Structure formats: structure tokens, C-alpha cells
Amino acid sequence: MRRIVATGVGLVATFGTIGVAAPAQAAETAAKPFNLTYGASYYTGSVTFSSRSVTATGLLHSVAGSGCRWVSVVPYAGTTAYPGTFLNVGQCNGASDTATVGATIDLPGGPTSVVVGLWTSNDDGSNLTLVRTTSKIAR
């Protein structure tokens, strides 16, 4: 009888640890598209959310003679905006290239949404102005 009880206790202890789940983390989401235009300049691509971050990747294009274009992301957790990230390399005067910018929120689950911004400036970076934003893009 003691052997059966001991075996049963051992099984409960073993199976009890199997049933304990690790803390929940938000999985990476499928890419969600966005498109921002300002005249003939544009930033078009997609955003992807990970456990505590969000990344926007796309093609940033500026028009010749129109100065420079820049991009930014502002992550949200619920209705609270967190410090965003600004791409420090823009595209100027007809140049195009892939632009990737991301931000992290150090909270369980990370960002629930993001706003992507398109900025314009003079060639020397002066007169930086936000000209377009997406609506909140949800996880």
C-alpha cells in the first residue's frame, strides 16, 4: 500500500509541474500594410509587432527638388503613447531606399498599436515637419 501511495504522490508531483504554463508573451503578428503619401513622395510598407516591440519597414521615396523625407513610429499600449523612434537617415531629392524604424515598450505584451509618421525637411534637415500619419494600426 505504501508503494502505491508513494508512486501516486510522485506522479502528481511530476504531472503538476508539467501543467504549469510559462508567462504569456505576445507572439509576432503578421505584417500589416500601410501607405503614406505626401505629393509624389511616399513611405509604403508594413508593420510587425513582437513581444515588446513594433517595427515598420518599407520603401521611402522623395521627389527630386523637394527636400528630404523621414519616418517615425509612436507605439501605444492601450491609449497611452510611448516615446517613439525617429529614423535618423532620410531620403533626399529623388532618392529611394528601404527604411526600417522600430520602438520598444518594456511592458508585458508590448505595444497594442502604432502610428507611423512621414516627415519633410529642407536638404540640411532644418524645418522638420510632420506631414502625414497613419491611423492607429492595431496588433
The DSSP secondary structure of 45-107, one letter per residue, reads EEEEE-SSEEEEEEEEE--TTS-EEEEEEEEEETTEE---EE-S--EETT-EEEEEEEEE--S
CB-based contacts of 103, cutoff 8 Å, min separation 6: 53, 54, 73, 74, 75, 82, 83, 84, 85, 111, 114
Q: Over pLDDT 70: what percentage of the chain?
A: 79
What digits encode the pLDDT tens for the residues 64-86? 999 999 999 999 999 999 987 87
Q: Is the pLDDT of residue 17 over 90?
A: no
What digits encode the pLDDT tens for the residues 109-139? 899 999 999 999 999 989 999 999 999 999 9
What digits encode the pLDDT tens for the residues 26-51? 567 889 999 999 999 999 999 999 99
Q: 57 near 100, Cβ under 8 Å?
A: yes
The pLDDT assigned to 25 comes to 53
Architecture in CATH for domain 25-138: Sandwich (2.60)
Total Cβ atoms within 10 A of residue 131? 15
Q: Is the pLDDT of residue 106 over 70?
A: yes
Q: How confident is the model at residue 19 (pLDDT cuts 50, 70, 90)?
A: very low
* 1: helix, strand or coil: coil
